[in-house]
Each structure stands twice: as C-alpha cells, then as structure tokens.
Structure 1
C-alpha cells in the first residue's frame, strides 16, 4: 500500500514537473522602474492569465522605453513594454533585428512641452524668445526641430539648454527655464511630487496635438520569438489584453498587483499615473474605433515618416516591419471602456 502510494506520488510529481517544464519562459522588461501604468502586466501574471496561456513571464524593471528595444535586440529579453518610435529607429538600420510591436497600448504620444502658466506659453508660436530645457537624446528633444517646422517656428529664436532629466522640473519651478521638453506621464507626476499643481499652474503643449501624430508605447516581442513560438506571442497578447480590459473598469485591481510587485512605490501617485495613462495616452477616438492594441496603417506610415525625418534615418521602414496585428484577439475582446474609480 505504501509502495503504491509512493509510486503514485512520484508519478504525480513527475507529471507536475513535466507540466511546469512545458511552460514557455518569457523574459520581459518594463519600460522603466515600477509604475502604475505597468499594471496590466502585473495583473496578468498575478491572476494566472499568463500561466493559463502556458507562459512563465519573468518581469524585470527597465532602463527607459527606448532601452526596451536594445535589450530585446541584445537577446537578454524576449518581450517588453517600450516605445514604437525606438523600433522605427532601429528597424531603419537593422531590419532583421529590431523587435515588432504586437499590442499598441499608448495610442497617443507622451512627448510634450510643459511650462508655468505665468510664462504665457499657450501655443507653439509663444516658444520663440524662450529658453527650453531638454535631456539630450530623448524623443521630445530630438523631435523639437520637426515640431518647429510643422508649426512654422524659427529655431534661431528658441534657446535650448541641455540638462539631466531629473533637473527639468526643479529648474522649471525655479524659473531658470521657460519650458521643459518632457514625457507628460513622467513630468506631470514629478511636479506633483515637488508639491506643484500641474493642472492649475502649468500649460502643456503635447506634440500629438500639433502635427506629430505619433504612436507610442506598447507590447513588443523579438523577431526570434515570432518565428519560433508564435503561439506564445498570441498568448502573451491575449493575457495582457484581458488584464488591460479588467483594469480599465477597476484600477484597484491593477494597483493591488503593482504593490505586490513593488511595495516601495508611492501607491497614491502610481494610481493617479495609471488613470492618467488611460485618459491622456490610451483612450482616443481611434482606440474606440479599432479597439485597444491595434493601429491604423496609414497613420503608422505617417508616424514612421516623422521619425525618419526627425532622426535623419537611412531608410524608411514599412508599417508591417514595425507593427503586426496578427496576434491580436478579435476586436470584440479589445473594446476597452475606461471608468475612473
């Protein structure tokens, strides 16, 4: 009897080990340190949505949404949350190596110029005669000249001061610069943490509203993963989408998983950041039309053209090199309805 029980137990453990071994491990990098806007990935992991797709998703913090692309290209990661515009830059030079976006999350770009309302910058033309602070190499800084051309600005009348990203808000608050070239989803909360009111006391010129209608961050995967395990890619997208739809209706679900992943983050700030990501970067007329996760080919082609111009790239990639909708669930499963709570 004991021998039979032991044999049954060993067989069960062996079967369990086999089942676990069959799970595909996916090394996943975030775009930055833990933030509320990453909640969908944590929920999908915590609630077993990835597991149900046969995936063991290992999530690491990131070093910047552009670095997500280079991390995947280097082979250290299979997938991640990062900037589609960085894919465009790399695909122009290394088309066989750049990752592919498979689920667009931020339908609108976060690139913006923030300024104190007292400075009087309410439209692009007001930037002439002003000093702007930007971190060298960031998309907002790199695309400033394209922004200027699109809006008829004379760049010789705009002074650009290079600075580290962590100095932008402090110098803006002090009045040492008139405007800061920022990511709105970062700068808005840096101002809050500096005891400022970013709605009442600051203006925001968002590039997407002034001729630079770009896409932004989403879920990307390596070309290797697409070729070798398309089923895993589809499962990764399906599970992430399920969590995203859920969080849109109940942000508390998202924040529970965020705090479980990293209990050192400021919960109140990160919940606001999560909500901001929906209202400012995700929910749009286009998203409502085509569903979360998808893009429009004609808009993507125009966006690629803007990046090629801004970065003076050697080649113009085709939209299908940058984004694939082959792994998206049906539109009926991607109809996101956001309710703040």
Structure 2
C-alpha cells in the first residue's frame, strides 16, 4: 500500500494549487454573479468554472456574462450584489451612494492599454506625436498616456488630435491611414499590429526606441486593476460564501500560473476568444488575487482622473472602497496593503 501511494504521488501533476480545507459552510450555495468574457476581468472566473473549482469549495455559480465592465457597472447600479469590474466600477458606484466595495484585485491590467501607430507612420521620438491624429474611445483614461509622455519628453499634448471612435473602427481607420494611430486596449492594439502597425507604448512599457523598456511602478503611464466587487449586505451577511468564492479564485490563479497551456483550454471554452488574441491579452495582464500597494495605486490614480473630468463629485479614500476582511479570513498572505500601515 505504501509503495502504491508513493507511486500515485509521484505521478500527480506538479500544479501548485492550494488544497481544499474544511471551512465554514457557505450561507448561499447557489447564486448568480456578473462576469465579463475578457481575460482582463474573467480569467480566474473562467478557469475556476472550467475545472470545477467552485464546486470544490461548496458553491455553484451561474454567471451572467456581460460584454464589458461598463455593463457590470450598470447592472450592479440597479442593486445586483456581486460582480467583476475595474476599480472605476466601484468608485462610480460608491460616488452614487451604492454600498459596494472591492474584495480583492484580480489583475494589474494597465499594460493592456496603449498606443499603436498605423502601418505608414514611423516615430522614434515622442515629440513627433505633436500634430498627429489618433483614434480613441471616449470615456476611458487612455488620453492620460499622451499627457504623461508630454511631461516627460517635452511636447504639447494639446497638439495631439484625438478623434472619438469605437475601437474596431479605430483599428480600420489607423490601418487605412485615415488617422495616424490608435489609443486603445487589447486585443485592438494587437489587431492593428497584424495589419502592419507598430506598438508605440503601453501603460507599463515604451517601444518607440525599437526595444521594449519596462517602466518602474512609479513611472507607469496609467494604472488600472480588475477587481471583485460585492455589496456590503453580502460582506456582512454572507462572508462564508464570499470566502469560498475567493478560495476558488486563488486556486484558479495558481492553476493558470502553474499550467498556462492547460488553463488556456478552459479560457477558450468559457470566454470564447480565439487562441492568438487570447494569448496576447493574457500576457498583457499581471494576475494575482490580492490586495496590494499596486491595487491602491490604481485606485488613487483613478480617483484623480475621475475627479479631473468630473465623473465623480468628491474624492474617495482607498480604505473606504477596498475591504480586506474576506481575503484576510481566506489567506492573510494575499493582503499586502492595509489602511494606515
């Protein structure tokens, strides 16, 4: 028997997945949750669903898949209790008096946003951005990238003309030369590069010298995280349910990092994204189920941006919008930022 057991242990896959332990029973075993078919927001959800990790934690989730984080914001604004989104989702809801808080970050998604040039446009000095025309999509913080580049490289950001377009429309316009480039997010930047365009910069790296230069955290051009949000009524009344959810997401995160090729099969099935764009999108994210200083950087950056364009009426504090209480109960090592620390 001992030899047989040893043989089984040696044959087991080398996946660094946290074990299932005995925990308090979830108050709600079956419930709905808002998800997004996008690896920026939905990677851990998709992996956990595909591999049955929610069931391992005693919960059965039916996902109401949305097309974007903006759609999640609308539905949660009507009172739906739990979903994924960006930090701006929680900020917007809280600014309207909704008792919604961030339970954890899922990924640093800053690097999925960037600037790409059209096929016939060659720029090696950011100052050459002056006078150029870029497609962008109104309502997101992407234009801050031009402002940051202007401050660091000494040009006038107001001389970069931004033309509001849907992302797909912007890709076509840049490929045809109707505009000089595109400020957008993945996979639209990737689509332009497959049509002959070149990547100029992302929020976390510059490419205009011909080589990728990774920017330090303090020098990034944008900050953004995907997060899990929940209504305060669930945080107070269903903490065991939320703890089971976070345990499953931690296990999904570990499975993706241990076996990305195997996890990709689940992502393709659940998210319904073609393999190559999916690869580009996942490689642009820095995944981690955590409450971290980087998450707080994204929160503070987004507050400043939202105030600057009058999307919210007053500033909010990270300690009021981010609660570590559930993640602390699951695994304190995943909480590396605490209010006042």
Indicate whether the TM-score tops 0.5: yes
Instruction: Give the aligned length.
Output: 293
Deviation at 1:65, TM superposition (A): 1.7
Whether the 8 Å contact between 1:292 and 1:334 is mirrored in structure 2 is no
Matching of residue 164 in structure 1 with residue 166 in structure 2: yes
Deviation at 1:123, TM superposition (A): 5.4
Q: Residues 212 and 321 of structure 1: is their aligned pair in 2 closer, same or farther, counting only changes over 3 Å?
A: farther
In structure 2, the partner of 1:25 is 30
Deviation at 1:204, TM superposition (A): 3.0
Q: Residues 326 and 120 of structure 1: is their aligned pair in 2 closer, same or farther, counting only changes over 3 Å?
A: farther
Distance in 2 (CA, whole Å) between partners of 1:118 and 1:244 is 40
Distance in 1 (CA, whole Å) between partners of 2:40 and 2:139 is 25
Q: Which runs of 5+ in 1 are unaligned?
A: 1-19, 284-290, 336-341
Q: Residues 138 and 332 of structure 1: is their aligned pair in 2 closer, same or farther, counting only changes over 3 Å?
A: closer
Normalization by structure 2: what TM-score?
0.73
Please list every run of at least 4 consecutive aligned residues from structure 1 whose deviation after the TM superposition is greater than 6 angstroms.
none
Distance in 2 (CA, whole Å) between partners of 1:98 and 1:189 is 37
Distance in 1 (CA, whole Å) between partners of 2:302 and 2:227 is 16
Q: Residues 269 and 241 of structure 1: is their aligned pair in 2 closer, same or farther, counting only changes over 3 Å?
A: same
Distance in 2 (CA, whole Å) between partners of 1:165 and 1:159 is 16
Whether the 8 Å contact between 2:118 and 2:179 is mirrored in structure 1 is no
Structure with the largest fraction of strand: 2
In structure 2, the partner of 1:254 is 263
Q: Structure 2 matches for 1:42-191, cutoff 5 A?
A: 42-76=46-80, 78-91=81-94, 93-94=95-96, 96-97=97-98, 99-109=100-110, 110-116=112-118, 118-122=120-124, 124-141=126-143, 143=144, 147=148, 150-151=151-152, 153-183=155-185, 185-191=186-192
Q: Residues 169 and 241 of structure 1: is their aligned pair in 2 closer, same or farther, counting only changes over 3 Å?
A: same
Distance in 1 (CA, whole Å) between partners of 2:137 and 2:40 is 24
Whether the 8 Å contact between 2:34 and 2:65 is mirrored in structure 1 is yes
Distance in 2 (CA, whole Å) between partners of 1:295 and 1:333 is 8
Structure with the largest fraction of helix: 1
Normalization by structure 1: what TM-score?
0.73
Report the aligned-residue RMSD: 3.3
